[in-house]
Protein backbone atom coordinates (compact mmCIF):
# COMPACT_ATOMS: atom_id res chain seq x y z
CA UNK A 1 0.00 0.00 0.00
CA UNK A 2 2.80 2.36 0.91
CA UNK A 3 4.53 1.42 -2.33
CA UNK A 4 1.42 2.37 -4.36
CA UNK A 5 1.18 5.69 -2.55
CA UNK A 6 4.76 6.45 -3.48
CA UNK A 7 4.05 5.58 -7.12
CA UNK A 8 1.00 7.88 -7.22
CA UNK A 9 2.96 10.62 -5.45
CA UNK A 10 5.78 10.53 -8.00
CA UNK A 11 3.34 10.38 -10.92
CA UNK A 12 1.50 13.48 -9.72
CA UNK A 13 4.82 15.18 -8.97
CA UNK A 14 6.02 14.54 -12.53
CA UNK A 15 2.71 15.79 -13.97
CA UNK A 16 2.92 18.89 -11.77
CA UNK A 17 6.50 19.64 -12.80
CA UNK A 18 5.61 19.30 -16.50
CA UNK A 19 2.11 20.84 -16.68
CA UNK A 20 2.59 23.86 -14.39
CA UNK A 21 5.50 25.35 -16.39
CA UNK A 22 3.49 24.81 -19.60
CA UNK A 23 0.52 26.65 -18.07
CA UNK A 24 2.75 29.49 -16.93
CA UNK A 25 4.43 29.67 -20.36
CA UNK A 26 1.04 29.67 -22.07
CA UNK A 27 -0.08 32.54 -19.87
CA UNK A 28 2.94 34.49 -21.08
CA UNK A 29 2.25 33.66 -24.73
CA UNK A 30 4.35 30.53 -25.22
CA UNK A 31 3.16 27.14 -26.44
CA UNK A 32 4.72 23.69 -26.80
CA UNK A 33 5.26 22.90 -30.46
CA UNK A 34 5.60 19.15 -31.13
CA UNK A 35 7.21 17.68 -34.21
CA UNK A 36 10.63 16.95 -35.59
CA UNK A 37 12.07 20.00 -33.84
CA UNK A 38 10.20 19.82 -30.55
CA UNK A 39 10.47 23.17 -28.76
CA UNK A 40 8.62 25.85 -26.81
CA UNK A 41 7.57 28.71 -29.09
CA UNK A 42 6.29 32.16 -28.15
CA UNK A 43 2.98 33.09 -29.80
CA UNK A 44 1.17 36.18 -30.98
CA UNK A 45 -2.42 37.28 -31.28
CA UNK A 46 -4.89 38.97 -33.62
CA UNK A 47 -7.52 41.47 -32.52
CA UNK A 48 -10.49 41.86 -34.86
CA UNK A 49 -13.22 44.48 -34.56
CA UNK A 50 -15.80 45.24 -37.24
CA UNK A 51 -18.38 47.94 -37.77
CA UNK A 52 -21.04 46.74 -37.46
CA UNK A 53 -20.13 44.03 -34.94
CA UNK A 54 -21.14 40.36 -34.96
CA UNK A 55 -19.27 39.01 -38.00
CA UNK A 56 -18.33 35.32 -38.20
CA UNK A 57 -14.56 34.74 -38.14
CA UNK A 58 -12.75 32.16 -40.27
CA UNK A 59 -9.08 31.49 -39.58
CA UNK A 60 -7.41 29.60 -42.45
CA UNK A 61 -10.90 28.49 -43.55
CA UNK A 62 -11.77 27.10 -40.09
CA UNK A 63 -14.57 28.92 -38.27
CA UNK A 64 -13.59 30.52 -35.00
CA UNK A 65 -16.03 30.06 -32.12
CA UNK A 66 -16.49 33.78 -31.43
CA UNK A 67 -17.84 36.73 -33.42
CA UNK A 68 -16.31 40.17 -33.75
CA UNK A 69 -15.03 41.97 -31.79
CA UNK A 70 -12.74 39.19 -30.61
CA UNK A 71 -9.15 38.32 -29.73
CA UNK A 72 -7.53 35.22 -31.21
CA UNK A 73 -4.65 34.15 -28.96
CA UNK A 74 -2.06 31.37 -28.98
CA UNK A 75 -1.17 31.79 -32.66
CA UNK A 76 2.18 30.51 -33.90
CA UNK A 77 4.23 33.01 -35.92
CA UNK A 78 3.31 33.06 -39.59
CA UNK A 79 0.67 34.21 -42.07
CA UNK A 80 -3.02 33.53 -41.52
CA UNK A 81 -5.89 34.07 -43.90
CA UNK A 82 -8.76 35.86 -42.16
CA UNK A 83 -12.28 35.81 -43.63
CA UNK A 84 -15.17 37.70 -42.06
CA UNK A 85 -18.80 36.99 -42.92
CA UNK A 86 -21.88 38.94 -41.84
CA UNK A 87 -25.36 38.51 -43.24
CA UNK A 88 -26.20 41.27 -45.72
CA UNK A 89 -22.57 42.40 -46.09
CA UNK A 90 -19.76 41.69 -48.54
CA UNK A 91 -17.18 39.14 -47.33
CA UNK A 92 -13.97 40.64 -46.00
CA UNK A 93 -10.68 38.79 -46.44
CA UNK A 94 -7.00 39.52 -45.85
CA UNK A 95 -3.80 37.66 -45.01
CA UNK A 96 -2.35 38.77 -41.68
CA UNK A 97 1.13 38.04 -40.39
CA UNK A 98 1.47 37.10 -36.72
CA UNK A 99 4.79 37.86 -35.05
CA UNK A 100 6.27 36.56 -31.81
CA UNK A 101 4.92 38.31 -28.73
CA UNK A 102 3.08 40.93 -30.74
CA UNK A 103 -0.54 41.81 -31.40
CA UNK A 104 -1.77 42.32 -34.96
CA UNK A 105 -4.56 44.85 -34.48
CA UNK A 106 -7.39 45.30 -36.96
CA UNK A 107 -9.85 47.33 -34.94
CA UNK A 108 -11.38 49.47 -37.69
CA UNK A 109 -12.78 47.02 -40.22
CA UNK A 110 -15.73 48.42 -42.17
CA UNK A 111 -18.17 45.91 -43.59
CA UNK A 112 -19.80 47.08 -46.82
CA UNK A 113 -23.44 46.09 -47.48
CA UNK A 114 -24.17 43.78 -50.41
CA UNK A 115 -26.77 46.22 -51.70
CA UNK A 116 -26.22 49.93 -51.27
CA UNK A 117 -29.35 52.03 -51.61
CA UNK A 118 -29.01 55.73 -50.93
CA UNK A 119 -31.48 57.48 -48.65
CA UNK A 120 -33.29 60.36 -50.34
CA UNK A 121 -32.67 63.66 -48.53
CA UNK A 122 -34.14 66.10 -51.09
CA UNK A 123 -36.43 65.00 -53.92
CA UNK A 124 -35.90 67.72 -56.53
CA UNK A 125 -33.83 67.18 -59.66
CA UNK A 126 -30.66 69.12 -58.83
CA UNK A 127 -27.98 69.85 -61.40
CA UNK A 128 -25.11 70.71 -59.07
CA UNK A 129 -23.94 70.32 -55.49
CA UNK A 130 -21.37 72.42 -53.66
CA UNK A 131 -20.37 72.07 -50.05
CA UNK A 132 -19.25 74.21 -47.16
CA UNK A 133 -16.95 71.89 -45.21
CA UNK A 134 -16.61 74.47 -42.47
CA UNK A 135 -20.20 74.15 -41.24
CA UNK A 136 -21.62 70.97 -42.77
CA UNK A 137 -23.98 72.70 -45.20
CA UNK A 138 -24.55 71.86 -48.85
CA UNK A 139 -25.63 74.22 -51.61
CA UNK A 140 -27.95 72.48 -54.09
CA UNK A 141 -28.72 74.14 -57.43
CA UNK A 142 -31.61 73.31 -59.73
CA UNK A 143 -30.28 75.98 -62.08
CA UNK A 144 -27.02 77.86 -61.86
CA UNK A 145 -28.54 80.92 -60.20
CA UNK A 146 -28.83 81.92 -56.55
CA UNK A 147 -32.62 82.01 -56.86
CA UNK A 148 -32.61 78.28 -57.73
CA UNK A 149 -30.05 77.35 -55.07
CA UNK A 150 -30.94 75.80 -51.71
CA UNK A 151 -29.13 75.25 -48.42
CA UNK A 152 -29.16 71.75 -46.93
CA UNK A 153 -28.12 71.23 -43.30
CA UNK A 154 -26.54 67.76 -43.08
CA UNK A 155 -26.89 67.54 -39.30
CA UNK A 156 -30.53 68.65 -39.03
CA UNK A 157 -31.50 67.36 -42.49
CA UNK A 158 -33.40 70.56 -43.32
CA UNK A 159 -33.49 72.48 -46.60
CA UNK A 160 -34.35 76.12 -47.39
CA UNK A 161 -33.72 78.66 -50.20
CA UNK A 162 -30.39 80.47 -50.30
CA UNK A 163 -32.13 83.72 -51.34
CA UNK A 164 -35.71 84.77 -51.93
CA UNK A 165 -36.71 84.50 -55.59
CA UNK A 166 -37.59 88.22 -55.52
CA UNK A 167 -34.12 89.12 -54.25
CA UNK A 168 -31.90 91.38 -56.33
CA UNK A 169 -29.34 88.55 -56.30
CA UNK A 170 -31.66 85.80 -57.54
CA UNK A 171 -30.39 85.95 -61.14
CA UNK A 172 -26.72 85.86 -60.18
CA UNK A 173 -24.86 82.76 -61.45
CA UNK A 174 -22.85 81.00 -58.74
CA UNK A 175 -19.19 80.63 -59.74
CA UNK A 176 -17.32 79.81 -56.55
CA UNK A 177 -17.67 79.43 -52.78
CA UNK A 178 -15.01 80.19 -50.18
CA UNK A 179 -15.41 79.17 -46.53
CA UNK A 180 -13.09 78.98 -43.53
CA UNK A 181 -12.93 77.05 -40.28
CA UNK A 182 -16.06 76.26 -38.28
CA UNK A 183 -17.89 79.30 -39.51
CA UNK A 184 -21.44 79.85 -40.74
CA UNK A 185 -20.30 82.62 -43.08
CA UNK A 186 -18.98 82.21 -46.61
CA UNK A 187 -17.97 84.29 -49.60
CA UNK A 188 -19.95 83.67 -52.79
CA UNK A 189 -18.43 84.74 -56.09
CA UNK A 190 -21.18 85.24 -58.68
CA UNK A 191 -21.49 86.52 -62.23
CA UNK A 192 -24.28 88.24 -64.16
CA UNK A 193 -23.85 89.76 -67.61
CA UNK A 194 -20.07 89.20 -67.38
CA UNK A 195 -19.85 91.23 -64.17
CA UNK A 196 -18.58 89.52 -61.02
CA UNK A 197 -20.00 90.13 -57.57
CA UNK A 198 -18.63 89.21 -54.16
CA UNK A 199 -21.36 88.43 -51.65
CA UNK A 200 -20.75 87.92 -47.92
CA UNK A 201 -23.33 85.37 -46.78
CA UNK A 202 -24.17 84.28 -43.25
CA UNK A 203 -26.01 80.94 -43.27
CA UNK A 204 -28.82 80.75 -40.72
CA UNK A 205 -31.82 78.47 -40.81
CA UNK A 206 -34.38 79.97 -43.21
CA UNK A 207 -33.00 83.51 -42.84
CA UNK A 208 -29.66 83.85 -44.60
CA UNK A 209 -28.19 87.35 -44.64
CA UNK A 210 -26.33 88.65 -47.72
CA UNK A 211 -24.09 91.69 -48.11
CA UNK A 212 -22.73 92.89 -51.42
CA UNK A 213 -19.04 93.67 -50.80
CA UNK A 214 -17.97 93.76 -54.48
CA UNK A 215 -16.48 97.27 -54.11
CA UNK A 216 -13.97 95.83 -51.62
CA UNK A 217 -12.52 93.69 -54.41
CA UNK A 218 -11.28 96.15 -57.08
CA UNK A 219 -8.91 93.44 -58.30
CA UNK A 220 -9.83 89.77 -58.62
CA UNK A 221 -8.20 87.93 -55.67
CA UNK A 222 -6.13 84.77 -56.04
CA UNK A 223 -6.90 83.78 -52.44
CA UNK A 224 -9.30 84.92 -49.68
CA UNK A 225 -9.06 83.70 -46.07
CA UNK A 226 -10.29 84.70 -42.64
CA UNK A 227 -10.53 83.61 -39.04
CA UNK A 228 -13.71 81.70 -38.07
CA UNK A 229 -16.49 83.78 -36.51
CA UNK A 230 -14.93 86.94 -37.89
CA UNK A 231 -15.85 89.32 -40.70
CA UNK A 232 -12.21 90.41 -41.10
CA UNK A 233 -11.07 88.98 -44.46
CA UNK A 234 -7.62 88.93 -46.01
CA UNK A 235 -7.42 88.88 -49.81
CA UNK A 236 -4.31 88.29 -51.92
CA UNK A 237 -4.61 90.70 -54.87
CA UNK A 238 -1.82 91.52 -57.32
CA UNK A 239 0.85 90.34 -54.87
CA UNK A 240 -0.53 92.30 -51.90
CA UNK A 241 -2.61 91.14 -48.95
CA UNK A 242 -5.48 93.56 -48.40
CA UNK A 243 -7.45 93.51 -45.16
CA UNK A 244 -11.23 93.67 -45.68
CA UNK A 245 -13.88 94.39 -43.06
CA UNK A 246 -16.95 92.72 -44.57
CA UNK A 247 -19.19 93.80 -41.69
CA UNK A 248 -18.44 97.51 -42.09
CA UNK A 249 -17.67 97.32 -45.83
CA UNK A 250 -14.17 98.79 -45.37
CA UNK A 251 -10.84 97.94 -47.01
CA UNK A 252 -7.30 98.44 -45.68
CA UNK A 253 -5.02 98.06 -48.72
CA UNK A 254 -1.48 96.68 -48.86
CA UNK A 255 -1.53 95.10 -45.41
CA UNK A 256 1.42 93.03 -46.66
CA UNK A 257 3.31 93.49 -49.95
CA UNK A 258 5.12 91.18 -52.38
CA UNK A 259 3.35 88.01 -51.24
CA UNK A 260 2.84 84.86 -53.33
CA UNK A 261 0.89 82.74 -50.84
CA UNK A 262 -0.52 82.87 -47.31
CA UNK A 263 -2.72 81.26 -44.68
CA UNK A 264 -4.30 82.21 -41.35
CA UNK A 265 -3.92 79.95 -38.34
CA UNK A 266 -4.69 80.71 -34.68
CA UNK A 267 -4.90 84.49 -35.29
CA UNK A 268 -1.61 84.61 -37.18
CA UNK A 269 -0.89 85.25 -40.85
CA UNK A 270 1.74 82.97 -42.38
CA UNK A 271 2.94 84.68 -45.57
CA UNK A 272 5.40 83.47 -48.21
CA UNK A 273 7.06 86.47 -49.84
CA UNK A 274 8.20 86.86 -53.43
CA UNK A 275 11.83 86.45 -52.30
CA UNK A 276 10.86 83.06 -50.75
CA UNK A 277 10.93 84.12 -47.11
CA UNK A 278 8.24 82.82 -44.74
CA UNK A 279 6.80 85.31 -42.24
CA UNK A 280 4.51 84.98 -39.21
CA UNK A 281 2.51 88.10 -38.33
CA UNK A 282 -0.43 88.77 -36.00
CA UNK A 283 -3.62 89.19 -38.03
CA UNK A 284 -4.77 92.12 -35.89
CA UNK A 285 -1.55 94.03 -36.51
CA UNK A 286 -0.66 94.06 -32.84
CA UNK A 287 2.60 92.16 -33.30
CA UNK A 288 5.33 92.97 -35.79
CA UNK A 289 5.95 89.28 -36.36
CA UNK A 290 9.02 87.22 -37.11
CA UNK A 291 10.77 85.41 -39.94
CA UNK A 292 10.19 81.64 -39.83
CA UNK A 293 12.24 80.60 -42.86
CA UNK A 294 14.93 82.59 -44.64
CA UNK A 295 17.84 80.30 -45.44
CA UNK A 296 19.77 82.01 -48.27
CA UNK A 297 21.44 78.79 -49.41
CA UNK A 298 18.24 76.82 -49.99
CA UNK A 299 15.15 79.08 -49.98
CA UNK A 300 15.20 79.68 -53.74
CA UNK A 301 15.71 75.98 -54.40
CA UNK A 302 12.76 75.15 -52.14
CA UNK A 303 10.21 77.79 -53.23
CA UNK A 304 11.65 79.22 -56.43
CA UNK A 305 9.88 76.86 -58.84
CA UNK A 306 6.47 78.57 -58.58
CA UNK A 307 5.22 82.16 -58.69
CA UNK A 308 2.26 81.38 -56.43
CA UNK A 309 1.48 78.86 -53.68
CA UNK A 310 -1.62 77.70 -51.91
CA UNK A 311 -0.50 77.65 -48.28
CA UNK A 312 -2.12 75.57 -45.55
CA UNK A 313 -0.96 75.76 -41.92
CA UNK A 314 -2.09 72.71 -39.95
CA UNK A 315 -1.89 71.73 -36.28
CA UNK A 316 1.06 69.80 -34.84
CA UNK A 317 3.82 71.57 -36.75
CA UNK A 318 2.74 70.92 -40.31
CA UNK A 319 2.68 73.37 -43.21
CA UNK A 320 1.66 72.40 -46.75
CA UNK A 321 2.48 74.35 -49.92
CA UNK A 322 1.06 73.54 -53.36
CA UNK A 323 2.49 75.38 -56.35
CA UNK A 324 1.05 76.33 -59.74
CA UNK A 325 2.06 73.03 -61.36
CA UNK A 326 0.77 70.97 -58.48
CA UNK A 327 4.13 70.53 -56.77
CA UNK A 328 3.70 69.73 -53.07
CA UNK A 329 6.08 70.85 -50.33
CA UNK A 330 6.01 70.78 -46.54
CA UNK A 331 8.10 72.28 -43.76
CA UNK A 332 9.70 68.84 -43.23
CA UNK A 333 12.80 67.54 -45.00
CA UNK A 334 13.35 67.04 -47.88
CA UNK A 335 10.63 69.74 -48.34
CA UNK A 336 9.45 68.76 -51.84
CA UNK A 337 7.56 65.45 -52.00
CA UNK A 338 5.67 65.69 -55.30
CA UNK A 339 7.01 67.43 -58.42
CA UNK A 340 3.67 68.13 -60.11
CA UNK A 341 0.04 67.15 -60.56
CA UNK A 342 -1.34 67.44 -57.02
CA UNK A 343 -5.05 68.33 -57.17
CA UNK A 344 -5.82 68.31 -53.45
CA UNK A 345 -4.78 67.27 -49.96
CA UNK A 346 -6.32 66.69 -46.54
CA UNK A 347 -4.46 66.67 -43.21
CA UNK A 348 -5.25 64.27 -40.34
CA UNK A 349 -4.10 66.00 -37.15
CA UNK A 350 -4.61 62.93 -34.95
CA UNK A 351 -2.17 60.73 -36.90
CA UNK A 352 -0.09 63.49 -38.55
CA UNK A 353 -0.78 62.14 -42.03
CA UNK A 354 -1.47 64.00 -45.28
CA UNK A 355 -3.82 62.52 -47.86
CA UNK A 356 -2.67 63.56 -51.36
CA UNK A 357 -4.29 62.95 -54.74
CA UNK A 358 -3.48 63.56 -58.38
CA UNK A 359 -5.57 62.69 -61.43
CA UNK A 360 -4.54 59.02 -61.30
CA UNK A 361 -2.91 58.42 -57.88
CA UNK A 362 -3.67 58.59 -54.18
CA UNK A 363 -0.87 58.82 -51.64
CA UNK A 364 -0.31 59.20 -47.91
CA UNK A 365 2.53 61.28 -46.50
CA UNK A 366 3.15 59.94 -43.00
CA UNK A 367 4.92 62.49 -40.80
CA UNK A 368 5.11 59.95 -37.96
CA UNK A 369 7.90 58.13 -39.80
CA UNK A 370 10.19 61.15 -39.54
CA UNK A 371 13.27 60.76 -37.30
CA UNK A 372 15.27 63.87 -36.44
CA UNK A 373 17.32 65.23 -33.57
CA UNK A 374 19.58 62.84 -31.66
CA UNK A 375 20.05 60.31 -34.46
CA UNK A 376 23.05 59.48 -36.63
CA UNK A 377 21.07 59.87 -39.85
CA UNK A 378 17.82 61.84 -40.08
CA UNK A 379 14.96 59.99 -41.75
CA UNK A 380 12.44 62.12 -43.68
CA UNK A 381 8.69 61.45 -43.68
CA UNK A 382 7.54 58.64 -45.96
CA UNK A 383 5.27 59.23 -48.96
CA UNK A 384 3.53 56.07 -50.11
CA UNK A 385 1.38 55.94 -53.24
CA UNK A 386 -1.28 53.47 -52.16
CA UNK A 387 -3.46 53.59 -55.30
CA UNK A 388 -2.18 54.17 -58.84
CA UNK A 389 -5.01 52.99 -61.07
CA UNK A 390 -7.12 56.13 -61.15
CA UNK A 391 -8.61 57.62 -64.30
CA UNK A 392 -9.99 60.99 -63.24
CA UNK A 393 -9.74 61.41 -59.46
CA UNK A 394 -11.36 64.67 -58.35
CA UNK A 395 -11.92 64.32 -54.59
CA UNK A 396 -10.70 62.31 -51.61
CA UNK A 397 -11.58 62.27 -47.90
CA UNK A 398 -10.24 60.66 -44.74
CA UNK A 399 -12.85 58.39 -43.12
CA UNK A 400 -13.21 56.43 -39.88
CA UNK A 401 -10.34 58.13 -38.03
CA UNK A 402 -8.14 58.00 -41.17
CA UNK A 403 -8.35 54.19 -41.34
CA UNK A 404 -10.12 54.53 -44.70
CA UNK A 405 -10.14 56.80 -47.73
CA UNK A 406 -13.23 57.73 -49.72
CA UNK A 407 -12.50 59.02 -53.21
CA UNK A 408 -14.36 59.98 -56.37
CA UNK A 409 -12.91 58.75 -59.66
CA UNK A 410 -14.96 59.78 -62.69
CA UNK A 411 -18.61 59.34 -61.73
CA UNK A 412 -17.99 56.60 -59.16
CA UNK A 413 -17.26 56.77 -55.44
CA UNK A 414 -14.92 54.20 -53.87
CA UNK A 415 -13.87 53.11 -50.39
CA UNK A 416 -10.30 51.95 -49.69
CA UNK A 417 -8.17 51.13 -46.64
CA UNK A 418 -5.45 53.67 -45.94
CA UNK A 419 -3.07 50.88 -44.84
CA UNK A 420 -2.88 47.30 -46.05
CA UNK A 421 -0.60 44.26 -46.07
CA UNK A 422 -1.49 42.26 -49.17
CA UNK A 423 -2.67 44.88 -51.66
CA UNK A 424 -5.35 47.59 -51.65
CA UNK A 425 -8.96 46.49 -51.31
CA UNK A 426 -10.94 49.05 -53.32
CA UNK A 427 -14.73 48.76 -53.10
CA UNK A 428 -17.18 50.68 -55.26
CA UNK A 429 -19.91 52.43 -53.28
CA UNK A 430 -22.13 54.45 -55.60
CA UNK A 431 -22.39 56.12 -59.02
CA UNK A 432 -23.20 59.84 -59.02
CA UNK A 433 -24.55 62.37 -61.48
CA UNK A 434 -22.00 63.19 -64.19
CA UNK A 435 -19.85 66.22 -63.45
CA UNK A 436 -21.04 66.70 -59.85
CA UNK A 437 -19.15 66.58 -56.58
CA UNK A 438 -19.68 64.48 -53.45
CA UNK A 439 -19.32 65.34 -49.79
CA UNK A 440 -18.36 63.19 -46.81
CA UNK A 441 -18.49 64.18 -43.15
CA UNK A 442 -17.36 62.22 -40.10
CA UNK A 443 -20.09 63.92 -38.07
CA UNK A 444 -22.81 61.85 -39.72
CA UNK A 445 -20.68 59.12 -41.32
CA UNK A 446 -22.53 59.79 -44.60
CA UNK A 447 -21.54 60.39 -48.21
CA UNK A 448 -23.85 62.98 -49.84
CA UNK A 449 -24.28 62.96 -53.62
CA UNK A 450 -26.70 63.58 -56.48
CA UNK A 451 -28.31 60.44 -57.87
CA UNK A 452 -27.06 59.52 -61.37
CA UNK A 453 -30.59 59.12 -62.76
CA UNK A 454 -32.97 61.27 -60.73
CA UNK A 455 -30.67 64.10 -59.59
CA UNK A 456 -32.08 63.75 -56.06
CA UNK A 457 -29.86 64.46 -53.08
CA UNK A 458 -29.07 61.11 -51.47
CA UNK A 459 -26.78 59.84 -48.73
CA UNK A 460 -25.07 56.54 -48.02
CA UNK A 461 -23.99 55.74 -44.46
CA UNK A 462 -20.40 54.55 -44.43
CA UNK A 463 -19.65 54.73 -40.69
CA UNK A 464 -22.26 53.24 -38.32
CA UNK A 465 -23.64 55.25 -35.42
CA UNK A 466 -21.33 55.47 -32.40
CA UNK A 467 -23.27 52.93 -30.36
CA UNK A 468 -22.58 50.32 -33.08
CA UNK A 469 -18.82 50.95 -33.23
CA UNK A 470 -16.74 48.44 -31.19
CA UNK A 471 -13.94 49.20 -28.75
CA UNK A 472 -10.54 49.96 -30.19
CA UNK A 473 -7.74 47.60 -29.15
CA UNK A 474 -6.29 50.28 -26.83
CA UNK A 475 -9.53 50.22 -24.83
CA UNK A 476 -9.42 46.46 -24.18
CA UNK A 477 -7.96 44.86 -21.03
CA UNK A 478 -5.43 42.72 -22.91
CA UNK A 479 -3.88 45.80 -24.54
CA UNK A 480 -2.12 46.64 -21.25
CA UNK A 481 -0.37 43.25 -21.29
CA UNK A 482 1.02 43.53 -24.83
CA UNK A 483 4.37 45.25 -25.14
CA UNK A 484 4.27 45.82 -28.89
CA UNK A 485 1.34 46.30 -31.24
CA UNK A 486 1.33 46.00 -35.03
CA UNK A 487 -1.52 48.41 -35.79
CA UNK A 488 -2.72 47.39 -39.22
CA UNK A 489 -5.40 50.08 -39.04
CA UNK A 490 -8.47 49.79 -41.22
CA UNK A 491 -7.73 46.67 -43.18
- In the DSSP assignment, the letter for residue 172 is P
In this prediction, residues 322-351 reach a mean pLDDT of 96
CB proximity list for 243: less than 8 A, separation 6 or greater: 232, 233, 234, 251, 252, 255
Alpha helices in 50-181 (DSSP H): none
pLDDT at position 39: 43
Radius of gyration of the chain (CA): 29
Among 135-139, 171-175, 215-219, 295-299, the minimum mean pLDDT is found in: 135-139
Kindly tell me the burial class for residue 442, based on how many C-beta atoms sit within 10 Å of its own C-beta (0-12, 13-18, 19 or more): middle
% of the chain surpassing 70 pLDDT: 84
**CATH 2.40.10.480 given to domain 226-304:** yes
DSSP bridge partners of 175:
none
**CATH 2.60.40.10 given to domain 2-113:** yes
pLDDT at position 11: 64
| Average pLDDT over the chain, rounded to an integer | 87
The model's pTM is 0.87
CA distances from 293 to 171, 302, 365, 378 (A): 47, 11, 22, 20
Residue 205 pLDDT level (bands cut at 50, 70, 90): confident
CA distances from 258 to 48, 224, 279, 306 (A): 55, 16, 12, 14
Residue intervals in the chain for CATH 2.40.10.480: 226-304
Round to the nearest angstrom and report the end-to-end CA distance of the chain: 64
The SS3 of residue 13 is: helix
Q: How many Cα atoms sit within 13 Å of 375 on the Cβ side?
A: 8
Residue intervals in the chain for CATH 2.60.40.10: 2-113
Amino acid sequence: MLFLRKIFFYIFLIIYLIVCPLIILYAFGFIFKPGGTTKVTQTGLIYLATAPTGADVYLDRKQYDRKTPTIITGLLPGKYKIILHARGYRPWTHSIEVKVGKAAVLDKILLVPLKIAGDVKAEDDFRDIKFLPANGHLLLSKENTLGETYVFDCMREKIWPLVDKNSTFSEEALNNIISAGKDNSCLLITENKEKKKYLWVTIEEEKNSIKNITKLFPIEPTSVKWMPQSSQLFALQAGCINKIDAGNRAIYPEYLKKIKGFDIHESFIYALTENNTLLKIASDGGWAGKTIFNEPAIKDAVFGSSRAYDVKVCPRNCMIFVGEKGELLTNHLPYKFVDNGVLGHEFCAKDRKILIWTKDKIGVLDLRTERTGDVEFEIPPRLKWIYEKGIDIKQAFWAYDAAYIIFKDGDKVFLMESEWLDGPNVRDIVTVKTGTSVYYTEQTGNIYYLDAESGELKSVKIIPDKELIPLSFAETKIAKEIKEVINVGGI
